[in-house]
Amino acid sequence: MFPGLTFILGGAASGKSEFAEALAESCGLAKHYLATSEALDGEMSEKIKRHRARRGADWTTHEAPLDVEPVLARFNHDCVCLFDCATLWLGNQMMAERDLEDRQSLLIAALTACRAPVIVVSNEVGQGIVPADPMSRRFREAQGRLNIALAREADLAVQVVAGLPLVLKGQLP
């Protein structure tokens, strides 16, 4: 049985997206990719291009940098959704000056109500140094709270370090 909500956590370039993609591939359902990043510069454009090429043509991509809830509401039991990533989604919410507690509540409600299995990828940003500026500290705290909420709701939580998965909660399918 594939988990209803899977939470994949890791540092930058840890292999978390590749692990999440492989997990989605393993379930045998139609694959949907819920993208939260925007190609605002050349580096991000190249990263998006690499991610799309790695996934291949059998994925349906939905771009939703801010409002993911309507997209999640459209999915049914016959597909899996990979939401990549919660960290960029949170940054987008901050830059749009939205109420982060309210947006987090709406996101968690949408994830738990989604009829399809959802795999959420997120970054661990709290294991480094304390950021020097208030906005970065606010983001780090908000990301920590979001990750805690996601892990609490998840049926399966996995931390990926150096490409290696460590199951924190639940069992891999």
Hey, which residues are catalytic here? Answer: 51
* 85: three-class secondary structure by DSSP: coil
Of 75, 87, 113, nearest to 35 by C-alpha is 87
Residue 78: burial class (beta carbons within 10 Å; 0-12, 13-18, 19+): exposed
Phi/psi of residue 63, each to 5°?
A: -95, 120
Question: What is the C-alpha to C-alpha distance for residues 62 and 40, in angstroms, rounded to an integer?
Answer: 17
* Residue 56 CB neighbour total at 10 angstroms: 10
Of 56, 64, 48, 54, nearest to 18 by C-alpha is 54
Instruction: Return the amino acid letter for 81.
Output: C
